[in-house]
A and B are shown apart, each in its own frame.
Chain A
Amino acid sequence: MEKRKLDLLVSVVVFCLMALVPVFVKSAYWLGVLVVALYFSLAAMGWNLLGGFTGQFSIAPATFCMIGMYTSAMLVHYLHWSPVAGILMSIVATAIVGLLLGWVCLRLRGPYLALTTIGFAEIVRGLIRFSYDITRGDLGLSVPKLFGGGGHVTYFYTFLGVVVLVQLLLYFLIRSRVGLYLQSIRDDDVAASGRGVNVVGWKTLAFTLSSLICGLSGGLYVHFIGLASPETGLIIQSGLIIGMAVIGGMGTLTGPLIGGLLLQPLSELVREFGVQHMLIFSLLIILAIRFWREGLYGSFRKVLARVS
């Protein structure tokens, strides 16, 4: 079967399984964990579009999530917009920021994007922490939730629906001509530009789309948690997102999804044993990139190919 179709099929299976989860899991705590896992999956899918498919490395996916969060949070808090409008605006805001940042540093080849984004991450977090009168700094900005009533189940299905939608869009994007352009840039940008691909333009587009997906996930998340705080933009959070994509399988559609859904609950489990979950996580990132490039989903695909 064609590679991407298999990706889509497995994603659909995963989505169906996920949709059944609330039937069996009644604990509000674990449902909450799964909602957070869906948030991370969404952000990891966004990062993967850039890192996995276009070969450009941003170190700041969590920063874009945080920008999304604060955009929506401030609009709702100060201008009393509805959360849905806030979330839509957080998509717009992150797209604009992504476009500008991408325009600045994607004209250059080499590690400039990674360098700029790591600086960007620290600076934006600093700005939000120190602009005390507007953002309330480290205390965080409390915001109303998306649904007045409704338990975690409502949130779970909303998040799941958004993830399904984004996954479908990504599927069509990657299979389209644009997706091929992006992958050709990843594999060999010189050859790609030799064949007439507008390398800088498509790279910037990929960065914008990736930021936008992160912004969307952040906007949703803030109205689930009910608090926007600068903690969510820590480099470590970006590390979690990138780690989920890498361990799940970079450059596949399903990898980041599986990565987020498996690793977030796993790190909750690990936390109960009193070990820093990030310690294990970062070790896994190093080992995965060093010895196990295809990730969870890549291995799964290999096994499947051998069986069939």
Chain B
Amino acid sequence: MDVLITGIIMGTFYALLALGLSLIFGCLKVVNFAHGEFFMIGAYVYALIALKVGMNPFLVLIWVVAFGLIIGLIVERLLMRPLYQKYTEWGAMRDEYAIIVTFGLSLFLINLANQIFGPYPISGPGLMPMKERVLLGNILMMSSHRLIAFCVGAGVLIVAFVLVRYSPWGKIIQAVSQNRFGASIAGINSTKVSSIVFALSSALAGLAGALLCPIFSAEPFVGALPAVKSFVIVVLGGMGSVPGSILGAYLLGVLEQFGAVYISYTYRDTFGFVILILFLVFRPQGLFGEKAREV
């Protein structure tokens, strides 16, 4: 039972990451390989502000989101714009450009953090005192930070999901991801939508980083593993499918925990990859994706 709950808690944080990734894939049709570094930035911002300024951790979360939005906007403006502005000129080169530029960005951010803060992990304070434990219905003991972080994460996830799925703005995002050209004929400023989506997903990743910061400390490489997992999830859920990526996140979180307990703890991070390979072989369109269609 507690394995399941731990899995669900981890799944929530994976979902925050994977939601952003799949929104970007939907709108911009590229995979953001620097996603884990937004996670890392969130963790650093949280740890540094909370420790140096001594602000209330909940207020720091707002700063983390603001910072994530700004970083996302800057990155989109500087590096992602050419993907859809000079559409004709770039043509077949866009995949190539997107992969290498985001990969380069990921290396750059990792090394920038390494240069500025050094390779030492910085652990942030918990949202609640870390030592405090809560008892859930006599079954499960967990630190109250974990519980609160889970609640915040799940809350944000639900709000984001409802916004993307049902609000008018979400409908605009869906329109752009279905057909960028068609959406712009219908009067949607698809460039603006893309930059908002990019900023939003960067903020979500940063939030996940901040919430997990007291558990995994902030260090330059902290984003690598969560990012790899969110890549797995995005394939699992079907590229660009929002409900698919959230479901995939929970699936991976739970399977990983069960694998860690019942198969092998040392190799827990490899299960994700095994699942990825199985999906690629047997169900490449993912849980919710459609078979690729040519436009």
A-B complex is real:
yes
A interface list, Cβ under 8 A from B = 51, 55, 57, 59, 104-105, 107-112, 114-116, 118-120, 122-123, 126-127, 130, 186-188, 190, 235-236, 239, 242-243, 246, 275-276, 278-279, 281-283, 285-286, 289-290
User: Which of the 9-residue segments B9-17, B57-65, B184-192, B270-278 touches chain A?
Assistant: B270-278
> Do B107 and A108 touch across chains, with their CB atoms under 8 A apart?
no
Complex Cα–Cα for A246 and B104 (A): 11
From the candidates B33, B82, B92, name the one contacting A114 in the complex (CB within 8 A): B33
Complex Cα–Cα for A112 and B228 (A): 13
Complex Cα–Cα for A112 and B285 (A): 11
B interface list, Cβ under 8 A from A = 30-31, 33, 79, 82, 92, 95-101, 103-105, 107-108, 110-112, 114-115, 224-225, 228, 231-232, 234-235, 239, 266-267, 269-270, 272-273, 276-277, 280-281, 284, 292, 294
> Do B225 and A122 touch across chains, with their CB atoms under 8 A apart?
yes
> Do B30 and A111 touch across chains, with their CB atoms under 8 A apart?
yes
Q: Which residues of B contact A289 (CB under 8 A)?
A: 97, 100-101, 104
> Do A286 and B280 touch across chains, with their CB atoms under 8 A apart?
no
Sample 20 A-B pairs with CB under 8 A, ordered by A number: A51-B96, A105-B280, A107-B284, A108-B292, A110-B239, A110-B292, A111-B98, A114-B103, A122-B269, A122-B273, A123-B272, A127-B270, A190-B294, A279-B111, A283-B104, A283-B108, A285-B104, A286-B79, A286-B105, A290-B82
> Do A119 and B276 touch across chains, with their CB atoms under 8 A apart?
yes
Q: Which residues of B contact A276 (CB under 8 A)?
A: 111, 114-115
Q: Which residues of A contact B112 (CB under 8 A)?
A: 279
Complex Cα–Cα for A119 and B97 (A): 20
Q: Which residues of B contact A235 (CB under 8 A)?
A: 107, 224
Q: Which residues of A contact B234 (CB under 8 A)?
A: 115
Known: A239-B107, A286-B105. 20 other contacts (CB 8 A): A57-B96, A59-B99, A105-B280, A110-B95, A111-B95, A115-B31, A115-B231, A118-B33, A119-B273, A122-B269, A123-B273, A187-B92, A190-B294, A236-B110, A276-B114, A278-B107, A279-B111, A282-B104, A282-B105, A285-B103
- A112-B235, A119-B272, A289-B97 given; A127·B267 CB < 8 A: yes
- Chain B residue nearest to A280 in the complex (CB): B111
Q: Which residues of A contact B276 (CB under 8 A)?
A: 116, 119
Complex Cα–Cα for A104 and B231 (A): 16
- Chain A residue nearest to B281 in the complex (CB): A104
Q: Which residues of B contact A278 (CB under 8 A)?
A: 107, 110-111
Q: Which residues of A contact B33 (CB under 8 A)?
A: 59, 114, 118
Complex Cα–Cα for A285 and B96 (A): 13
> Do A59 and B115 touch across chains, with their CB atoms under 8 A apart?
no
> Do B92 and A188 touch across chains, with their CB atoms under 8 A apart?
yes
Q: Which residues of A contact B280 (CB under 8 A)?
A: 104-105, 108, 112, 116
Complex Cα–Cα for A107 and B188 (A): 35
- Chain A residue nearest to B285 in the complex (CB): A108
- Chain A residue nearest to B107 in the complex (CB): A282
From the candidates A105, A109, A119, A243, name the one contacting B228 in the complex (CB within 8 A): A119
Complex Cα–Cα for A200 and B276 (A): 20
Q: Which residues of B contact A119 (CB under 8 A)?
A: 228, 231-232, 272-273, 276
Complex Cα–Cα for A282 and B95 (A): 19
Q: Which residues of A contact B95 (CB under 8 A)?
A: 55, 57, 110-111
Q: Which residues of B contact A239 (CB under 8 A)?
A: 103-104, 107
